[in-house]
């Protein structure tokens, strides 16, 4: 992720003068936009990782509870 942030800022630096003129904003504002893009990328990556752990946990709990539910329903 740090490498992608580094690449975004360096490769994006080629377009900063054009963006600065087109959007009529300062260069510091453009840096904030790129940093926000990195933050969103980081949050989405953490969200994806969290979902993969949660899905594994739910699957594990389901597989753990199936034998118990099977025996319980047979008893009833």
For the stretch 12-51, pLDDT in tens is: 566 667 777 787 888 777 777 777 777 777 788 888 889 9
Question: Which pLDDT band, with edges at 50, 70 and 90, does 3 fall under?
Answer: low
The pLDDT of residue 4: 52
3-state secondary structure 15-76: CHHHHHHHHCCCHHHHHHHHHHHHHHHHHHHHHHHHHHHHHHHHHHHHHHHHHHHHHHHHHC
Check if the beta carbon of residue 9 is closer than 8 Å to that of residue 34: yes
Q: Enter the pTM of the model.
A: 0.44
The pLDDT of residue 70: 87
The pLDDT of residue 58: 93
Tokens 């840096």: give the residue. 31
């Amino acid at each position: 992720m740090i490498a992608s942030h580094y690449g975004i800022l360096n490769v994006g630096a080629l377009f900063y003068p054009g963006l600065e003129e087109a959007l009529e904003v300062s260069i510091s504002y453009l840096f904030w936009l790129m940093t926000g893009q990195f933050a969103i990328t980081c949050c989405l990556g953490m969200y994806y990782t969290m979902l993969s752990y949660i899905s594994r946990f739910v699957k594990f709990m389901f597989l753990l509870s199936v034998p118990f539910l099977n025996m319980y329903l047979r008893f009833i």
